[in-house]
A and B are shown apart, each in its own frame.
Chain A
Amino acid sequence: MNSVVQKVVRSQLRDALRSRWLTVYALFFALLSDGLLRFSGSDAKAILSLTTVVLIVIPLVTLVLSTIYVYNAREFTELLLAQPIRRSSLFAGLYLGLTLPLAGGFAAGVTFPFILRGGGDPLQRGALLTLLAIGVVLTCVFTAIAFWIALRAEDRLRGLGMALGVWLLLGLLYDGAVLVVVAVFSDYPIERPLLALSFANPIDLARMLMLLRLDVAALMGYTGAVFQRFFAGTSGIALASAALAGWVLVPLTLSARLFRRKDF
């Protein structure tokens, strides 16, 4: 890694580690994870419930916090751009300086209660690792989208509105739309179009990855059931992972390009 990137990341990390939002974020996941472990009886059930919450909370919190972060860092970004450093390095530094603490806060919060219990049920370790992985990847996806929004919209209220809109669309409206499609076209073979639709939503992809891992199709929505029928086993996991990777890379590339060309 380029040394300028490292230096920017280090200072952003230091800033984040002292901030209240990161503590609250990590504490939220720690309390949630601990509570679910306490009251759900088995690690498997706790991980499943955690997944449901993670799929809603990570996109929402990441979008909102990241959008605010980019707007707040605006003047500091200008100051750094006036230094003899490249824009691409600065962008990488700012992106990692936000994504690392968010992903780290989530992972540490969720894992801590399991560690307190001696690592939890050994049979569920794979599922826990998958949960951590999809949480981290979703964080990367939504920070990238938030950067794109905040660089695109000069007005911060508009940017925040767009961020919430993206969350509403992917987190809530999408599921409703799928149900409507299923109800309206129930007489037709719609498995394949539905599969295609699931690639349009990183949250759904993450949900399916978790489902393929946990083997609980019924609990994970309609596209999940379809997906499992088509892609049971490793090829399904590989395909969904590749699609998720695309969901990180595409917004990230677009944001980086926007950052390189932007007039500050």
Chain B
Amino acid sequence: MITISGLTKRFGRVDVLQGIDLEIARGHVVGLVGPNGAGKTTLLKTLLGLTHADRGTIRIDGVPIGDGGDVSYRARIGYMPQIARFPENLSAAELFTMLRDLRGRPADLDEELVTKLGLESQLDKPLRILSGGTRQKVNACLAFLFRPKLLILDEPTAGLDPLSSAILKDKILAARGEGATVVIASHIMSELEELCDDIAFLLDGVVRYMGPVRELTSTTRQANLERAIAALMIREVA
């Protein structure tokens, strides 16, 4: 369970987060939606400790995260960043080994995605020569490798072909089935509709709506999530 309260962050003259309050229930898949620049990536990065909030707190299972220096909570997190760039001359296999070493060599690894996405033949090639989509697959494998209890995915299917995208979505649902909490930032509404229990709608650094997907479509009287979010955006902006 993640509890975020009063989170603010300012970059220079831009208030990116203006008091985020959000509760994410354990085992839920939450979709983070909102226009570009609404603060989705900043919120995810603050969850990871990549960005320091100006004010407010984040608690994961009741334990506050912050600048206290305790980094052990990240051992339970799998992160898939928006852009996948790795050291050019290393291979994916070497990257996996390195991260495994950094995490103290956990024995129980989840390498299912490597097989399913057909990455075995690419494992020993330098990452520099892999295509953008293949690198994104490596990125996805890394996020799931350590059987995380919390998955943070920033536009996970961007750049993936439809087949790989479907495999990744199945994997997300399987992780949910095993009790993992998942936070996904995405612009692809059909994908979120398929995966998510709840939707958090961000606008100008504030959560404007948080609730079950079905509730959102029924209160806005729209046929699907895409239209519901569009209706919400029109209403909020107007």
The answer to whether B102 and A79 touch across the interface, beta carbons within 8 angstroms, is no
Closest to B52 in A: A263
> When chains A and B are docked, how far (Å) is the Cα of A86 from the Cα of B71?
6
Given contacts A12-B87, A263-B51, contact A85 B69 (CB under 8 A): no
Selected A-B contacts with CB under 8 Å, 28 pairs: A8-B102, A10-B98, A11-B90, A11-B94, A11-B98, A14-B90, A19-B89, A74-B85, A75-B84, A75-B85, A76-B86, A76-B87, A78-B45, A79-B81, A80-B102, A81-B48, A82-B77, A83-B74, A83-B99, A83-B102, A84-B71, A84-B75, A84-B102, A84-B103, A85-B71, A261-B52, A263-B45, A264-B51
A15 touching B50 by the CB < 8 A rule? no
* Distance between Cα atoms of A196 and B150 in the complex (Å): 56
State in angstroms the CA–CA spacing of A80 and B9 once bound together: 22
Which residues 66-102 in A have Cβ within 8 Å of B in the complex? 72-76, 78-86
Flag whether B236 is at the interface (Cβ < 8 A): no
Number of interchain pairs (Cβ within 8 Å): 78
Interface presence of A7 (CB below 8 A): yes
Choose one: B77, B81, B87; the contact of A11 (CB below 8 Å).
Answer: B87
B86-108 interface code vs A (CB 8 A; 1 in, 0 out):
11111000110011011100000
With A81-B50, A82-B48, A85-B102 in contact, is A15–B90 under 8 Å at CB?
Answer: yes
Contact residues in A for B172 (Cβ distance below 8 Å): none
Query: Please, which residues of chain A bring their CB within 8 A of the CB of B73?
Result: 84
A14 to B206, CA, bound (A): 44
Interface residues of A in 1-19 (CB under 8 A from B): 4, 7-8, 10-12, 14-16, 18-19
Separation of A18 and B48 alpha carbons in the complex (Å)? 31
User: Complex Cα distance A14/B93, Å?
Assistant: 13
Question: A3 to nearest B CB, angstroms?
Answer: 8
Determine if B81 and A78 form an interchain contact, defined as CB atoms under 8 angstroms apart: yes
Interface pair A263/B103, CB less than 8 Å apart: no
Q: Contact residues of B with A, CB < 8 Å? A: 9, 11, 45, 48-52, 69, 71-75, 77, 79, 81, 83-90, 94-95, 98-99, 101-103, 126, 142, 152
Q: Which of B74, B90, B101, B152 contacts A7 (CB 8 A)?
A: B101
**Which residues of the other chain, A, contact B83 by a CB distance below 8 angstroms?**
75
A15 & B71 in contact (Cβ 8 Å cutoff):
no
Q: Which residue of B lies closest to A75 (CB)?
A: B85
Instruction: Please give, as numbers and ranges, the residues of chain A lying within 8 Å of B99 by CB-CB distance.
Output: 83
Please give the distance in Å from A229's CB to the nearest CB on chain B: 50
B75 surroundings in chain A (CB, below 8 A): 84
CB-CB under 8 A from B102, the residues of chain A are 4, 7-8, 80, 83-85
CB distance from B128 to the nearest CB of A (A): 10
Instruction: Tell whether A78 pairs with B50 under 8 Å between CB atoms, given A14-B94, A18-B89, A19-B89.
Output: yes
B69 lies within 8 A of A84 (CB): no
A79 to B49 Cα, complex, angstroms:
12
Question: What CA separation (Å) do A18 and B87 show in the bound complex?
Answer: 11
CB distance from B189 to the nearest CB of A (A): 26
In the assembly, what is the distance between CA of A19 and CA of B127, in Å? 13
